[in-house]
Amino acid sequence: MLHELQSGFMAAVLTGSQTELTSVTPKIREGKLNTAQRVAIYRRNVQSTLRGALGDIFPTTRWMLGDDKFLNVGDQFILHAPSTSGDLNQFGRSFPEFLSAMQPSAAADMAALDWAWHEAFHAAEQAALDLSRLGAVPAEQHAALVFQLHPSARLIGSAYPLLELWQAHQNSEEAPLEISKILPADHHFLAVHRDDANVTLTPLSAPQFHFLKICAEHQPLGEAAEAAFALDANFALQAFLIQTVQQNIVIDFNEPS
Amino acid sequence: MSPHHQSSRPPHALDPLCAGIGLRPPHYQALLGKPAAVGFLEIHSENFFGAGGPPRRYLDKFREDYAISAHGVGLSLGSADRLNPAHLENLKKLIDWLQPSLVSDHLCWVGVNGRYLNDLLPIPYTEESLKHVASHIRQTQDYLSRQMLVENVSSYLEFADSTIPEWDFLREVAQQTGCGILLDVNNIYVNSINHGFDAMQYLDAMQGADIGEIHLAGFQDTGEILIDTHGAAVSDAVWALYASAINRFGAIPTLIEWDTDIPTLDVLLAEAEKANVMLEQASFAMPTREGRRHAT
Ligand SMILES: [Fe+2]
């Protein structure tokens, strides 16, 4: 009985539909307010909570789309993919996918960046790698080492200049270029990661991106290097490795067993 | 080394004469410079489920100076679903690290069929619900290996099937599970107006020894119904009900909740100070709650 009541009430609150409302009406006492008014209070509260959560987690996407459009797609998302956790920080994981299924766009890719930022903000801590440990490994074993990225590190590729757009939002509350005028032009890559306490966005070249992507898949250094060299025969492997260790993107490695 | 090592330090003792406030990001900076501004700080547990980053780093600093109460909104104790194991696990990890003075959630449901409305929804007060919610509370306390407090919520409707008054239901939940009660005095007042009962009757049904914490907050009056917004100062009527509660039950750790239109820290501190004056008076009338407990 509890299950039936809660399922019916949830449907009425989520959809706002008359049919769902009619079916829960006999289960709710009237009084000063009728059932429709009472359910409407919960519907307003729920909408404001879920809309607020999306707005908080996807501020740059919201800025790009504008408040009205963001609200509109947000409400569609809330119905299409209701929250699946009592922790609101989990809400919106599939929002980027939902947006790009509607239409691939700079805003859909930005949603992936906003989500990555959100995850990086809450991710676990991990101490930096001591480079001298790497120096102690004989050179002939390097290719077999499997590098580990910081728990906050996320790699993002897009046909749109996400980093420039993201920085434009940081610097101004003004509306960005009209979304429809931002055309997919090139490949843009970046890493989202926490450098100490702050979430940082680092632009990457194509070989750098693919190198880290392969590391993130727990493939050995040899494979990652091969992919990078295939894109750029002059890829500065050692310098990039040192840079990413200093930035706390690469934080550990496993020696071959 | 990670700064987030497990702590074996015992939690700060809660001083029942010194009210606390909700810990919210707009006040982090102002509070960092004030190690004894309030009696304790209450967090929304879910906002610290992430294992690291700025939220945990701030909390790591605040817990050095303050007793912390971990107040959840997502356990969904009254749901027909079984308890969400991932949620329980995240809560346990947080608590093992934080060692809070209090752990609480609400007498409500938040979602069903694996989907969540992320709002505090009332349950029908029936024998079936009572058995069900009591079993969820027992499971939670067993899993966390500690007592939890369960809070009464504001509501805007009553279910036709309810057979037990809310106050009896709440007391029974505590009696059957050994959980404590987080008595939200504002929610009692809001419901007394919304559903037309005498708020004193609610206090009459409580056993003082069950109450581990009191919440005070502000509501919004739409003219037809009171909405628990946590977005305003505590009303005179709620202060009066609060005075009745602590004069009857003795000083109990009290929290000022303010979650929307969050004011400056000074405004919150003034509300907490108001509670402190009343707690002091209540403790004159009834020297110590602990003493009374031992006497019974
Ligand atoms: Fe409360």
Residues 6+ apart with CB under 8 A from A100: A108, A109
Tell me the chain A residues in contact with residue B54 when contact means C-beta distances shorter than 8 Å: 121, 197
What integer pLDDT is reported at residue A184 of this predicted model? 73
Helix (H, G, I), strand (E, B), or coil: what is residue B116?
Answer: strand
Inside any domain, residue B12:
no
CATH (domain of A134): 3.90.930
Inside any domain, residue A30:
no
Inside any domain, residue A42:
no
As a whole-number percent, the residues of chain B with pLDDT over 90 amount to: 89
Tell me the chain A residues in contact with residue B80 when contact means C-beta distances shorter than 8 Å: 2-3, 6-7
* Rounded distance from Cα B202 to ligand 1 centre (Å): 16
Tell me the chain A residues in contact with residue B114 when contact means C-beta distances shorter than 8 Å: 84
Inside any domain, residue A120:
no
Q: Which of A37, A84, A121 sits opposite B116 (nearest CB)?
A: A84
* Rounded distance from Cα B204 to ligand 1 centre (Å): 20
Dig out the tokens for B235 from the structure: 């009303």
Q: How far apart are CA B269 and CA A94, in angstroms?
A: 40
Confidence of residue B296 (pLDDT cuts 50, 70, 90): very low
Inside any domain, residue A136:
yes
10 Å CB burial of residue A19 (0-12, 13-18, 19+) is exposed
Inside any domain, residue B210:
yes
Tens-digit pLDDT profile for residues A56-101: 999 999 999 999 999 999 999 999 999 999 999 999 999 999 999 9
Cα A122-A126-A127 angle, rounded to 5 deg: 145
Complex ipTM value: 0.92
Task: Map tokens 């009303």 to a residue.
Answer: B235
**Which amino acid does the sequence have at B237?**
A
- Helix locations, A58-187, DSSP H: 59-65, 67-80, 95-102, 106-122, 131-135, 162-171
Tens-digit pLDDT profile for residues B81-131: 999 999 999 999 999 999 999 999 999 999 999 999 999 999 999 999 999
Inside any domain, residue A113:
no
Q: Which of A6, A29, A46 sits opposite B79 (nearest CB)?
A: A6
DSSP secondary-structure letter at A28? B
CA distance A132 to chain B (A): 17
What integer pLDDT is reported at residue B12 of this predicted model? 80
List the 80-119 stretch of B: residues with Cβ below 8 A of A: 80, 84, 86-87, 90, 109-119
Whether residues B52 and A86 touch (CB distance < 8 A) is answered with no
Whether residues B3 and A29 touch (CB distance < 8 A) is answered with no
What integer pLDDT is reported at residue B288 of this predicted model? 57
Mean pLDDT of chain B: 93
Q: How far apart are CA A87 and CA B189, in angstroms?
A: 28
Q: Provide the CB-side half-sphere exposure for B282 (13 A, CA).
A: 26
Tens-digit pLDDT profile for residues A177-236: 666 567 777 889 999 999 888 999 999 999 999 999 999 999 999 999 999 999 999 999
- CA B119 vs CA B183, B225, B270: distances in Å: 19, 18, 29
Q: How far apart are CA A56 and CA A115, in angstroms?
A: 10
* Rounded distance from Cα A105 to ligand 1 centre (Å): 42
What integer pLDDT is reported at residue A196 of this predicted model? 85
Tell me the chain A residues in contact with residue B52 when contact means C-beta distances shorter than 8 Å: 122-125, 151-152, 194
Inside any domain, residue B295:
no
Mark B63-81 as b/e (b = at least 16 C-beta within 10 Å).
Answer: beebbbbbbbbbbbbbbbb
As a whole-number percent, the residues of chain A with pLDDT over 90 amount to: 87
Pick the residue with more confidence: A175 or B16? B16
Overall number of domains in chain B: 1
CATH (domain of B96): 3.20.20.150
What integer pLDDT is reported at residue B2 of this predicted model? 39
Dig out the tokens for A48 from the structure: 């404001």
CA distance B5 to chain A (A): 10
Whether residues B53 and A121 touch (CB distance < 8 A) is answered with yes
List the 201-240 stretch of A: residues with Cβ below 8 A of B: none
Inside any domain, residue B195:
yes
Mean pLDDT of B187-210: 97
> CB-based contact (8 Å) between A34 and chain B?
no
Whether residues A2 and B156 touch (CB distance < 8 A) is answered with no
Inside any domain, residue B291:
no
**Which amino acid does the sequence have at B60?**
D
Inside any domain, residue A214:
yes
DSSP codes joined into one string, A40-90: HHHHHHHHHHHHHHHHHH-HHHHHHH-HHHHHHHHHHHHHHS-B-SSSGGG
Tens-digit pLDDT profile for residues B207-254: 999 999 999 999 999 999 999 999 999 999 999 999 999 999 999 999
Residue B287 has pLDDT above 80, yes or no: no
Inside any domain, residue B251:
yes
What integer pLDDT is reported at residue A181 of this predicted model? 67
What pTM value is reported for the model? 0.93
**Which amino acid does the sequence have at B172?**
E
Inside any domain, residue B266:
yes
Domain of B110 in residue numbering reads as 20-282
As a whole-number percent, the residues of chain B with pLDDT over 70 amount to: 93
Residue B291 has pLDDT above 60, yes or no: no
Domain of A186 in residue numbering reads as 125-257
The answer to whether residues B219 and B252 touch, using CB atoms and an 8 Å cutoff, is no
Mean pLDDT of A130-154: 94
Tens-digit pLDDT profile for residues B45-68: 999 999 999 999 999 999 999 999
Inside any domain, residue B75:
yes
Mean pLDDT of A152-172: 92
Q: How far apart are CA B203 and CA B226, in angstroms?
A: 20
The answer to whether residues B215 and B184 touch, using CB atoms and an 8 Å cutoff, is yes
What integer pLDDT is reported at residue A178 of this predicted model? 63
What integer pLDDT is reported at residue A31 of this predicted model? 87
Tens-digit pLDDT profile for residues B14-23: 999 999 999 9
